[in-house]
Amino acid sequence: MAQEISGSPSYLLDPNLQTDSPIPVFKTFTQVLGENLPVLAVLLLFTFLCLAYWFWSKRKKTIENPIASAVRIDPYQEAQDALSSLQKEKPKIEAKPFIFMLSQILRLYIEREFRLTALEQTSEEFIEAVSRHSFLKLHALQPVQEFATLGDLIKYSPEYNLSKELEELFYLAQHIVEHTHAELQKKKLQEEARESLTQPI
């Protein structure tokens, strides 16, 4: 029996494996990479998304900062400064350029303060837009109509001795700016008072 076992091929090993190389103790980099490929892919994707978000938020801040500072400009103060500069203009501007500049100041104030398209509109379109705005209709429609009517009369009048009419037109525009601003501030204070009353103590 012992003789048969010693003379026969080894039954403990597969004959096909007798000539093979020894089983490696360490795995190659390719094998490790292949086994962990899904985990590495998820980690790389997460890293890429984090970097992309960081770059996007940084770029967004640099773009929005100038816009935010532009929005913070007070339309009322801007209009008052422009009116003051126009009033101090020397030598005095001729009637038509004066009316154009005054109208631009008034329209720009209304456009920025009340988010109402005004600069590119005709007088009729401007008056119509003001009449559709609930706040402006109540506090500015009549003086805006007077401003447009008087401005047109001056534009088509002979250009002599118009200082009184131009002064009246200027103070009319100034009144619209100051009156609407005052009423707007009053409305905000009333809304804040109502909110404070409705808040639980």
Please give the Cα distance from 30 to 22 (Å, whole number): 19
pLDDT of residue 11: 46
Phi then psi for residue 161, to 5 deg, are: 50, 55
| Contacts of 93 by beta carbon, 8 Å cutoff, 6+ apart | 86, 101
DSSP annotation of 28: P
User: Residue 30 has which token pair?
Assistant: 């390719």
pLDDT of residue 157: 80
Domain residue ranges in the chain:
29-71, 75-198
Nearest CA to 170 out of 74, 107, 86, 93 is that of: 86
Please give the Cα distance from 181 to 201 (Å, whole number): 32
What letter represents residue 118's amino acid? Answer: A
Please give the Cα distance from 109 to 177 (Å, whole number): 7
pLDDT of residue 2: 45
pLDDT tens digits in sequence order for the chain, 201 residues long: 444 444 455 545 555 545 555 555 566 767 766 777 777 777 888 888 888 888 777 776 655 554 444 446 899 999 999 999 999 887 778 888 999 999 999 999 999 999 988 888 999 999 999 999 999 999 999 999 999 999 988 888 876 678 889 999 999 999 999 999 999 999 999 988 888 887 766
Strands annotated E in the chain: none
What does the angle CA 77 – CA 78 – CA 80 come to, to the nearest 5 degrees?
60
Contact status, residue 163 vs residue 94, Cβ threshold 8 Å: no
Please give the Cα distance from 102 to 131 (Å, whole number): 21
Judged by DSSP in three states, 22 sits in coil
Please give the Cα distance from 76 to 108 (Å, whole number): 10
Please give the Cα distance from 188 to 2 (Å, whole number): 109
